[in-house]
Amino acid sequence: MPGRCGFCLATAEPERPWCQACFESLPWNLPACPSCAEPQPPGALAGRCCGQCLTRSPAFRRARVPLRYEDEVARLMQRFKFHASPRAGNVLLELLEAGLPRAALAWPEALIPVPLHPRRARERGFDQADWLARRLAARHGLVLAHAQRRQATRSQRGLDRAERYRNLRGGFVVERALPSRVALLDDVMTTGATLDALAQACLTAGAREVEAWSVARTPLRR
């Protein structure tokens, strides 16, 4: 409802879809690996890369993912992703903007959403990453570019980290030359395999630096 928090229906902050109490209680992704944004245990040293990134650095230079995929954020994301709720999408978009430094939003020379394969997009009827990217680009004057999936890879659900990387190896292509600085955008980042594969395609297309942006990151699984 207009003027009401999207989480608890209390009076919202001016020009925001949330109240301050709910905003502060959201699962912010801190601390996190600066390279891949994997959530780190409480007390982990800020700015230190995780063991996975020390072993194998991703193709993108850094990841910016302000929230963890749990609690209210997970419920909001499910309404957006599986029920195409524009209200949920707008709240998520504003949370992403609130979690990205102003300098980060001005950094990319092109913004590329993680593409769905056309067949999967038709089946779902909704491309959530493209929805977010178009609105983010319009709000901040970013150039929107596109990539294509080479084939309809099997779903990443249920695959472990190594299987996800194998499933997407060589899975994307960018047909036009890209500028030097490119940001990739997805709704949820799990292991980073999808964004890593897309970043490799962007580097092949001429990008020199790639960042991975997402609204939420899945929590560390023990």
133-156 pLDDT, tens per residue? 999 999 999 999 999 988 655 554
What is the average pLDDT across 117-140? 86
Beta pairing partners, 193: none
- Four-CA torsion 90, 201, 194, 43, nearest 10 degrees: -80
Helix (H, G, I), strand (E, B) or coil at 176: coil
Domain covering 20-217, topology:
Rossmann fold (3.40.50)
Question: What is residue 11's DSSP assignment?
Answer: B
Residue 40 exposure: Cα atoms within 13 Å on the Cβ side = 20
Kindly indicate the confidence band of residue 185, based on its pLDDT and cuts at 50, 70 and 90: very high
Kindly indicate the confidence band of residue 119, based on its pLDDT and cuts at 50, 70 and 90: confident
With a cut of 70, say whether residue 4 has pLDDT above it: yes
Q: How are the residues of the chain apportioned to helix, strand and coil, as percentages rounded to the nearest 5?
A: 35, 15, 45
Q: What are the boundaries of each domain within the chain? A: 20-217
pTM score of the predicted model: 0.89
pLDDT given at position 157? 56
Question: Two tokens at 48?
Answer: 């230190």
